[in-house]
Amino acid sequence: MSRRAQWCKLFFFSCALFLFFTYISPMLFTMSSSWQRFIAVQDEIGVTSGALYYTDVAVTQDAEAHVREAVALGMQERLLKQAKN
Residue-level pLDDT at 24 = 92
Domain count across the chain:
1
Structural domain that includes position 54: 47-85
- Round the CA-based radius of gyration of the chain to a whole number and report it: 24
In a domain, 8, yes or no: no
Mean pLDDT of 45-68: 73
Q: Does the structure show a pLDDT above 90 at 9?
A: yes
In a domain, 69, yes or no: yes
In a domain, 22, yes or no: no
Mean of the per-residue pLDDT values of the chain = 85
Mean pLDDT of 65-70: 90
